[in-house]
């Protein structure tokens, strides 16, 4: 069969999917996407020998791919089928591994347009992929991550490929479990360079992406260790921006820079230097934590509840910060020690009984953070009565002490105590006997 015949077979196969719609069965939609994903490497290859008319038809066929992809993501079954989500993401990633050269020397508008589409698709599903520690560690996968990094490093034209790539990296590193993998691919010092060059290197809508990426890397101890080699605090201190005039603007860089600074700073420094963390920033962290904890998916404005809460727990080792924000805050509604106990006890009531390797890793980790929060509060006698009055909370804490092996989190910063440790010390501080 000649190349023209090959192309016609591909176009005929794609044509069978033009009529796929929301009204089709879940199984038909799922099978259609799986089929077209397997076909797409051939679609890319066909572009090498296609006539102008065939190339036009192949370009048009991307609309079919996009439509089926969008329909799949909008269906209720999608978010529940974690194996399918992984299958989709890794099928897309695998396609790209065959085109790493595009990130180094692009000579094909057809291939690049397909690569940009695939990057956009991967970016849209990353947040729901349940990654594992050994994901993206194969040589060809590492080579792709390296090629993307090097393209962003070298690009000074703000091209569309860099624009899509920085979004993908931003979303990938939001998965803390992948940080060691990203570090292995050479991500580290270059992130600080992106932060320094962000105003000239990136388009306006992506100008703050490097700051978010830096924050995500610092959520993992390996990221902290690597980036601390390059004096990151000096880079952060040099950032110039106009603070928001609003007291509740979660998009204000004030909040992100405060989080980065806290993650980079050790406890001794935090205890001695409350002045670097403004009341506004602490108030915003508390507000985001509250809003996210109340949301069905524990997210608010892009933050998972664990992100601001991790920083707050670290900052609460400074008594001035802890007592200051609990005694006077501008959260809506105003926050009290009682409301904090009630809110995060509710989270534990829902999430702690489900703590297994199959549960969402961030929800599991949030339980670790909350146990640490209650331990810190228990170190202060002024909060003892409120903690003791939380009967549901005390019951959960007691169970954690007698069930220390329920969950061992491999993603737990060294600054955090284990659930067993924090629960044991909380009971000890409150003078409550174990079960």
Q: Are residues 296 and 372 in the same domain?
A: no
Q: Which structural domain, as residue segments, surrounds residue 275? A: 250-316
Q: Are residues 312 and 342 in the same domain?
A: no
Q: Which residue has the tokens 């390296």?
A: 146
**Mean pLDDT highest for which of 27-36, 234-243, 297-306?**
27-36
What does each C-alpha distance from 17 to 27, 56, 58 come to in angstroms? 14, 18, 14
pTM of the model: 0.91
Q: Are residues 416 and 309 in the same domain?
A: no
> Is residue 282 in some structural domain?
yes
Q: Are residues 29 and 87 in the same domain?
A: yes
> Is residue 205 in some structural domain?
no
Q: Are residues 298 and 350 in the same domain?
A: no
Which of 101, 125, 149 delimits the end of a domain? Answer: 125
The answer, yes or no, to whether residue 410 has pLDDT greater than 60, is no
Q: Are residues 38 and 109 in the same domain?
A: yes
pLDDT of residue 334: 92
Q: Are residues 93 and 24 in the same domain?
A: yes
Helix-then-strand count for the chain, H and E = 23, 2
Calculate helix-pair angle for 189-201, 139-154, nearest 10 degrees.
40
Q: Are residues 9 and 98 in the same domain?
A: yes
> Is residue 237 in some structural domain?
no
200-229 confidence digits (pLDDT tens) = 999 999 999 999 999 999 999 999 999 999
> Is residue 209 in some structural domain?
no
The answer, yes or no, to whether residue 178 has pLDDT greater than 50, is yes
Centroid of chain to Cα 324: 30
Which of 288, 316, 344 delimits the end of a domain? Answer: 316
Dig out the tokens for 20 from the structure: 């796929």
223-256 confidence digits (pLDDT tens) = 999 999 999 999 999 988 766 545 445 556 888 9
Q: What is the 3-state secondary structure (H, E, C) of 180-213?
A: HHHHHCCCCHHHHHHHHHHHHHCCHHHCCHHHHH
> Is residue 220 in some structural domain?
no
The answer, yes or no, to whether residue 163 has pLDDT greater than 60, is yes
Q: Are residues 381 and 423 in the same domain?
A: yes
**Which DSSP state fits 120?**
H
pLDDT of residue 253: 82
* pLDDT level of residue 1 (50, 70, 90 thresholds): very low
> Is residue 106 in some structural domain?
yes
* pLDDT level of residue 361 (50, 70, 90 thresholds): confident
Dig out the tokens for 203 from the structure: 């388009």
Which of 70, 94, 125 delimits the end of a domain? Answer: 125
Q: Are residues 55 and 94 in the same domain?
A: yes
> Is residue 182 in some structural domain?
no
Determine if residue 267 is left, alpha or beta; phi over 0 gives left, psi from -120 to 50 gives alpha, anything else beta.
Answer: alpha
106-153 confidence digits (pLDDT tens) = 778 999 999 999 999 999 999 999 999 999 999 999 999 999 999 999
Q: Are residues 307 and 343 in the same domain?
A: no
The total of structural domains in the chain comes to 3
Could you give the angle at the alpha carbon of 222 between the alpha carbons of 154 and 311, nearest 5°?
Answer: 105
Q: How far apart are CA 420 and CA 427, in angstroms?
A: 11
Q: Are residues 5 and 117 in the same domain?
A: yes
> Is residue 234 in some structural domain?
no
């Amino acid at each position: 069969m000649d190349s023209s015949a090959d192309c016609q077979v591909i176009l005929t196969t794609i044509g069978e999917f033009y009529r796929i719609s929301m009204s089709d069965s879940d199984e038909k939609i799922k099978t259609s996407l799986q089929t077209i994903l397997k076909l797409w490497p051939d679609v890319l290859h066909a572009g090498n020998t296609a006539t102008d008319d065939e190339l036009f038809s192949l370009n048009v066929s991307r609309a079919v791919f996009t439509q089926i992809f969008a329909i799949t993501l909008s269906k209720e079954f999608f978010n529940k089928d974690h194996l399918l989500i992984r299958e989709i993401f890794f099928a897309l990633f695998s396609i790209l591994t065959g085109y790493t050269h595009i990130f180094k020397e692009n000579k094909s508008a057809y291939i690049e347009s397909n690569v940009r589409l695939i990057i956009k698709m991967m970016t849209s599903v990353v947040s729901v992929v349940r990654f594992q520690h050994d994901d993206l560690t194969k040589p060809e996968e590492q080579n792709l991550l390296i090629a993307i990094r090097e393209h962003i490093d070298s690009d000074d034209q703000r091209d569309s490929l860099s624009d899509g790539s920085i979004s993908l990296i931003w979303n990938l590193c939001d998965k803390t479990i992948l940080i060691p993998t990203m570090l292995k691919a050479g991500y580290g010092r270059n992130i600080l360079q992106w932060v320094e060059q962000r105003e000239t290197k990136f388009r306006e809508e992506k100008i703050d992406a490097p700051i978010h990426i830096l924050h995500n890397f610092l959520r993992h101890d390996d990221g902290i260790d690597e980036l601390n080699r390059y004096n990151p605090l000096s880079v952060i201190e040099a950032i110039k921006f106009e603070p928001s005039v609003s007291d509740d603007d979660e998009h204000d860089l004030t909040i992100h820079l405060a989080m980065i600074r806290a993650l980079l700073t050790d406890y001794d420094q935090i205890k001695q230097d409350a002045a670097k963390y403004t009341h506004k920033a602490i108030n915003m962290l508390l507000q985001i934590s509250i809003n996210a904890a109340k949301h069905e998916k524990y997210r608010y404005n892009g933050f998972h509840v664990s992100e601001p809460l991790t920083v707050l727990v670290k900052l609460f080792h400074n008594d001035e910060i802890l007592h200051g924000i609990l005694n006077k805050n501008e959260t809506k509604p105003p926050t009290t020690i009682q409301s904090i106990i009630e809110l995060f006890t509710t989270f534990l009531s829902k999430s702690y009984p489900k703590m297994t390797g199959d549960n969402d890793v961030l929800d599991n980790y949030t339980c670790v953070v909350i146990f640490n929060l209650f331990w810190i509060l228990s170190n202060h006698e002024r909060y003892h009565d409120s903690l003791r009055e939380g009967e549901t909370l005390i019951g959960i804490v007691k169970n954690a002490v007698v069930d220390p092996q329920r969950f061992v989190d491999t993603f737990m910063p060294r600054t955090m105590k284990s659930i067993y440790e924090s629960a044991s010390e909380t009971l000890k501080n409150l003078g409550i006997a174990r079960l």
